[in-house]
Amino acid sequence: MAKILLVEDEMVEAMNLKRSLQAMGYDVMAIASYGEEAIEKANTLKPDIILMDILLKGKMDGITAAQAISKHEIPVIYISALPDDATVNRALISAPYGYLVKPYDIRKLKISIEVALYKKQMENKLKQSQETYYQTIFENTGAATVIIEENKLISLVNMQFTSLTGYSKNEIEGKMEWTEIFSQEDISQMKEYHQLRRVNPDYAPRNYEARIVTRNGAVKPVHLTVAMIPGTEKSMASILDMTELRRSKMAIKESQERFKSIFENAAEAIILFDCQGNIVEFNGKFKETFGFKNGEIIGQNFVHMGSMMGMHNEESRKILNDLISGNELKQVEWILENKEGKKIIFRVRPSLIKTKTSVIGILLIMEDITELKNVENSLKYSLKEKEVLLREIHHRVKNNLQIISSLLSLQRLQVEDPQTADILWECQGRVRAMAMIHENIYQSQDIGRINFKNYVEMLLYDIFNL
Class of domain 140-246: alpha beta
pLDDT at 258 over 60: yes
The winner for highest mean pLDDT among 250-259, 307-316, 410-419 is 250-259
Going from the C-alpha of 332 to that of each of 251, 276, 320, 346, the distances in angstroms are 36, 21, 13, 8
What's the whole-number mean pLDDT along residues 293-316?
82
Q: Are 207 and 224 in contact (CB under 8 A)?
A: yes
For every residue of 255-288, DSSP letters joined together read HHHHHHHHHHH-SSEEEEEETTSBEEEE-HHHHH
Q: What is the predicted pLDDT for the residue at 228?
A: 92
Residue 182 confidence class, pLDDT cut points 50, 70, 90: very high
C-alpha–C-alpha distance, residues 145 and 162, integer Å? 9
pTM of the entire predicted model: 0.46
Asked whether residue 328 carries a pLDDT value surpassing 60, the answer given is no
- Residue 313 confidence (pLDDT): 80
**CB contact at 8 A, 307 and 313:** yes
Segment 330-337 mean pLDDT: 85
Tell me how far apart the terminal alpha carbons of the chain are, to the nearest angstrom.
Answer: 150
Whether 466 has a pLDDT exceeding 60, the answer reads no
Residue with the bigger pLDDT between 463 and 89: it is 89
pLDDT number for residue 167: 93
Residue 308 reports pLDDT greater than 70? yes
Q: What is the pLDDT of residue 397?
A: 79
Higher pLDDT: 115 or 455? It is 115
pLDDT > 70 in the chain, percent: 92
Residue 345 has pLDDT above 60, yes or no: yes
Strands (DSSP E) along 20-86, which ranges? 27-32, 49-53, 76-80
Phi, psi of 264 (to 5 degrees): -75, -30
pLDDT of residue 351: 84
**C-beta separation of 237 from 164 below 8 A:** no
Instruction: Name which of 188-197, 202-211, 218-227, 445-454 the model is least confident about.
Output: 445-454
pLDDT of residue 448 exceeding 70? no
| Rg (alpha carbons) of the chain, rounded to whole number | 53
Mean pLDDT, the chain, whole residue set: 85
Q: Which CATH number fits domain 3-126: 3.40.50.2300, 3.20.20.60, 3.60.140.10, 1.10.357.10?
A: 3.40.50.2300
The pLDDT of residue 84: 85
d(CA 275, CA 241): 37
Say if residue 464's pLDDT is above 80.
Answer: no
Flag the least confident range among 208-212, 216-220, 413-417. Answer: 413-417
* Per-residue model confidence as pLDDT tens digits over 10-46: 888 889 889 989 989 999 999 999 989 999 999 999 9
Residue 164 has pLDDT above 60, yes or no: yes
State the pLDDT at residue 443: 67
- Class of the CATH-defined domain 266-368: alpha beta
CA angle, 52 then 55 then 57, to 5°: 100
Contact indicator for 49, 30 with CB cutoff of 8 Å:
no
Evaluate whether 348 touches 329 at the Cβ level (below 8 Å): no
Work out the average pLDDT over 173-201.
Answer: 92
